Amino acid sequence: AAGVIQSPRHLIKEKRETATLKCYPIPRHDTVYWYQQGPGQDPQFLISFYEKMQSDKGSIPDRFSAQQFSDYHSELNMSSLELGDSALYFCASSLGLEAFFGQGTRLTVV
C-alpha cells in the first residue's frame, strides 16, 4: 500500500540558509500534518492542511511557512535556519482519525 513519502531523507544546511522539505501524502487523504521531533522528544505539531487550506497552526516559528499544492503534496519552507532547528521533521496524512506518518527528513544545521 502507498505510504507517505518525504524528501529528502537527510539534509545538511548552514546557519541562516533556507531549506525546503517535501511531503507526498497517501492518495485520497484530505489532511496533512507537519511535526518536528527533537532528540528524545515527542513529536511537536507545527501546522496542518485540510483540502489544501491551512487548518491549524501549532508551535511553528515565523521563519517557517508551509503550503499544500493542487496535487496535494505539501512543502515546509524554513528560512534563516538556526542550530536549534536541527531535528526530524515528519509529515503525516489522514482521512478520518488515524494519521499515517512518513519516514521523516533529518535536518542538520551546522
Would you call 85 helix, strand, or coil by DSSP?
Answer: helix
**Residues that bind another protein in the complex, under the rule CB under 8 A:** 4, 6, 33, 40-43, 45, 48, 56, 58, 88, 90, 92, 97-104, 106
Q: How far is the CB of 64 from another protein (least distance, A)?
A: 16
Q: Are 47 and 54 in contact (CB under 8 A)?
A: yes
Q: How far is the CB of 84 from another protein (least distance, A)?
A: 19
Q: How far is the CB of 77 from another protein (least distance, A)?
A: 20
Q: Are 48 and 31 in contact (CB under 8 A)?
A: yes
| Dist. CA 89–CA 45, nearest whole Å | 10
**Chain-centre distance for alpha carbon 47:** 8
Longest dimension (CA), the chain: 39
Nearer to another protein, 30 or 75 (CB): 30
Q: How far is the CB of 17 from another protein (least distance, A)?
A: 22
Q: Are 57 and 47 in contact (CB under 8 A)?
A: yes
Nearer to another protein, 17 or 38 (CB): 38
Nearer to another protein, 4 or 76 (CB): 4
Nearer to another protein, 73 or 79 (CB): 73
